[in-house]
Amino acid sequence: MAQKIVAVLWVLMIGCGGAFSQVLENYGPRILENYSATRIGAYDQIEVMVDLRSFPKSDLKVGLPEGAVVFWEDRLWIMAKSDTTIVLPVTLVSEFVGENLASENKLTIISPEINPGAVILQKGYFSNEEQAAAPVLIMPRKVDPLQPEYRIKSAFPDFFFVALVSVLLLVAIYKLIYPFVLGMIITPTSVVSAEDFSESTGLQKFFSLDVIFFLLIINMAAFLLLMLLVDVTDRESLLFIVRGDLNQLFLYWLLGSLVITGLGVLKFSFLQAFGFLFELKKVVVPHFFYLLRIISITIFVIAFVVAVIHLNNFIDLEITVQYSLYAFFWIYLVGVFLLYWIMSNRVPFKNYHLFVYICTTELVPLLAISKIVIG
């Protein structure tokens, strides 16, 4: 009878072996002893001494809140992009600590307003099911102790501010050469007064040096903001335009600006073709410059706001860029409806045909671009 019971127990242990877990050391009580969990928001970092020499064949289980950064002996180890639980062999952790391995090593967890009760730190044997597939970046160990340790630094922040200053310099040069044109384009009151549809407006020609120069400047600012959006949101399809050294980033920026400028020229040619089709040749140029005015003012304001927030860290940059993108498309959409209202009052044309013209030339491209950029 006893042999049968032992056999049954062995079968149960073998069958449940995949889910077997055993905690050898739990550092949670030690953390709570030094950092009270009731004082949420009172800490920005937690330090605990961990024994990596005992139970070398065991695993280390670490549970981290979103945005936590972990250091072993002041050396970067983990960056958690979301709430994360990972299980790693103690031997790998010991190799990462390397020559600093001692009887106890200091583990530092840095996170704004960290809750000590949300941190999990245990040593033991854990099943594979307990490992969460959450986004986490684990820094590689230093293979050769004689080689210096390097941190990968992105060149984009430096590039962004140098490029932004370059755009401001070009705007200053443009103001010296064409002060009347610049003042007329970026005047907000002209959006309501609809000066572009009057006969006295100075912007009657598209293919002129002053217009092409301004179009290039505004597209340089627009593509710079697009690069910032890609950098802070990690959009995989466009990541190549924000990776590389300063020379590569400037090359991508200039090429992208030229491509957008070329698309602007194609957009004007497209408007001319539809103006000929709908017999609206006289409103093609005012139509283009009216929306260009709205786009220019919006881009300059967004660039100013993003630059100030980026320098002072008032708000999370990713949230700022995303909401700025949403604001841009909503402002552009309002501008399209204002364009329709102005043209319906000033153009002797049926509202139905005018609505089809606006939808074909503005709303459909806007929705397509929104789908591509926003996702």
Amino acid at position 90, single letter:
V
Q: Among residues 138, 165, 188, which one ends one of the domains?
A: 138
pLDDT of 259: 94
Question: Cα–Cα distance between 333 and 287 in angstroms, integer?
Answer: 14
Same domain, 47 and 192: no
User: Which single residue is written with the structure tokens 């040749």?
Assistant: 281
6 part of a folded domain: no
| Whole-angstrom distance, CA of residue 118 vs CA of residue 140 | 25
Burial 150-185 (b: 16+ CB within 10 A, else e): eeeeeebeebbeebbebbbebbeebeeebeebbebb
pTM, to two decimals: 0.58
Residue 149 to residue 142: CA distance in whole angstroms: 7
Same structural domain, 160 and 131: no
CB within 8 A of 244, min separation 6: which ones?
A: 155, 252
DSSP one-letter code for 143: S
| Distance (Å, whole) CA 270 – CA 264 | 10
How many helices (H) and strands (E) are present in the chain, helices listed first?
12, 9
Q: Are residues 123 and 184 in the same domain?
A: no
Whether 323 is covered by a domain: the verdict is yes
pLDDT at position 242 is 87
pLDDT per residue rounded down to tens, the chain (375 residues): 544 444 444 444 444 444 456 777 888 887 776 676 555 555 677 888 888 888 888 888 888 888 888 888 878 888 887 787 888 888 888 888 887 788 888 888 888 777 777 788 888 887 654 444 444 444 544 444 434 444 445 688 889 999 999 999 999 999 898 888 777 777 766 666 655 555 544 445 666 788 889 999 999 999 999 999 888 887 777 788 888 888 999 999 999 999 999 988 888 888 778 777 766 667 777 778 888 888 889 999 999 999 888 888 777 788 888 888 889 888 988 888 888 888 777 766 667 777 777 787 777 777 777 776 665
Close Cβ partners of 217 (under 8 Å, ≥ 6 residues apart):
167, 170, 171, 174
Q: Residue 228 burial by CB count (10 A; 0-12/13-18/19+): exposed, middle or buried?
A: buried
User: What pLDDT was estimated at residue 366?
Assistant: 76
- Which residue segment(s) compose the domain that 99 sits in? 20-138
Number of domains the chain is built from: 2
CA torsion 112-118-120-121 (nearest 10°) is 50
For residue 12, the Cα-to-chain-centroid distance in whole angstroms is 50
How far is Cα 114 from Cα 46, in angstroms, rounded to an integer? 8
The pLDDT value recorded for residue 192 is 60
Specify whether 110 is located in the same domain as 183: no
Amino acid at 265: V
* The two structure tokens encoding residue 275: 């103006």
**Token pair listed for 318:** 């990713």
Eight-class DSSP state of 163: H
Asked if residue 340 is part of any domain, the answer here is yes
208 and 322 together in one domain: yes
Q: What was the pLDDT predicted at 167? A: 94
Same domain flag for 197 and 324: yes
